[in-house]
Amino acid sequence: GRTVYVAAAQLVDEWGAGLIGGYGYSEVGAVVGATHREQGEKLRKEHPHMFFLVPGYGAQGATAKDIVGMFDEKGGGAIVNNSRGILAAWQKTGLPAVQAATDAAKRMQEDLAAQLAL
């Protein structure tokens, strides 16, 4: 009766139960897609010690509003991946690659900070 993502999250918690570090997160984490907002929010509530790698921001359509619930109350517990949105930014802007990537990374940081109220 469980979904695959719920069962997988329970396993990740079991594997990392004895590996909680000083910041309250396990050394064993999970990949939680940014485009699955409701599931990510549910996982954060049910697995407060699980660290998330969150792909799907930017090029795949997720925004900071979609992933804000995957962070803890201090704005931690998740790393957001936006590799295509940053590395390929020059193709959309026409700017030199380094400048386009820098600008895209700054916009992402500002977007996340605004949603997390940091």
Q: What span, in angstroms and rounded, lies between the C-alpha atoms of 63 and 61?
A: 7
SS3 33: coil
Q: How many whole angstroms separate alpha carbon 78 and alpha carbon 21?
A: 15
Global pTM reads: 0.86
Tens of pLDDT along the chain (118 residues)?
A: 889 999 999 999 999 999 999 999 999 999 999 999 999 999 999 999 999 999 999 888 899 999 999 999 888 999 999 999 999 999 999 999 999 999 999 999 999 999 988 6
Q: What pLDDT is recorded for position 118?
A: 65
Chain Cα centroid distance, residue 106: 16
